[in-house]
């Protein structure tokens, strides 16, 4: 089977959308545990890993770096955030206002990724229909 590379960019955006969805779930869990004593907020690291994976290598051509991107090479990492020491007496470090802002921001990012993926498929569909 010939590889046209038509889906390379879609693969990257899909991986980013999956990580964004995971981050929404983690933030929602933080919000749900806002009143749980000694709960420490969690977050997801992904964008820096993706950026590093796309920027590694000697190639200066972004298309070639996208084509060489290995989907399995970058995975989102859920981690516990101990940097924000608790200012609360119960040991919980979740700030509900910050979590709500982060959730809204992540939802916008996710919707943008899904819309971009949809547009990529629309362009591919149009290219296939053009004769």
> Which pLDDT tens digit goes with each residue over 61-102?
666 666 666 655 788 999 998 876 777 889 899 999 999 999
Which residue has better confidence, 94 or 124? 94
Domain of residue 57: give its range: 8-126
Give the model's pLDDT for residue 86: 73
Q: How many separate domains does the chain show?
A: 1
Q: With respect to residue 94, please indicate whether it lies within any of the assigned structural domains.
A: yes
Q: With respect to residue 99, please indicate whether it lies within any of the assigned structural domains.
A: yes
Q: With respect to residue 3, please indicate whether it lies within any of the assigned structural domains.
A: no
The pTM is what?
0.81
Q: With respect to residue 17, please indicate whether it lies within any of the assigned structural domains.
A: yes
Q: How large is the average pLDDT for residues 118-131? A: 82
- 112-116: long-range contacts (C-beta < 8 A, 24 or more apart)? 113/13, 113/16, 113/17, 113/20, 114/17, 116/13
CB atoms closer than 10 angstroms to residue 20: 23
Q: With respect to residue 131, please indicate whether it lies within any of the assigned structural domains.
A: no
Q: With respect to residue 1, please indicate whether it lies within any of the assigned structural domains.
A: no
Q: With respect to residue 2, please indicate whether it lies within any of the assigned structural domains.
A: no
Q: With respect to residue 27, please indicate whether it lies within any of the assigned structural domains.
A: yes
């Amino acid at each position: 089977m010939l590889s046209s590379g038509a889906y390379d960019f879609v693969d990257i955006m899909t991986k980013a959308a999956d990580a964004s969805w995971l981050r929404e779930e983690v933030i929602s869990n933080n919000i749900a545990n806002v009143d749980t004593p000694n709960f420490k907020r969690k977050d997801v690291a992904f964008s820096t890993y993706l950026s590093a994976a796309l920027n590694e290598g000697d190639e200066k051509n972004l298309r070639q770096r996208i084509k060489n991107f290995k989907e399995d090479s970058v995975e989102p990492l859920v981690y516990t955030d101990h940097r924000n020491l608790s200012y609360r007496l119960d040991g919980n470090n979740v700030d509900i206002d910050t979590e709500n802002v982060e959730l809204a921001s992540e939802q916008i990012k996710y919707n943008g990724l899904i819309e971009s993926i949809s547009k990529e498929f629309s362009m591919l569909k149009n290219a296939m229909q053009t004769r």
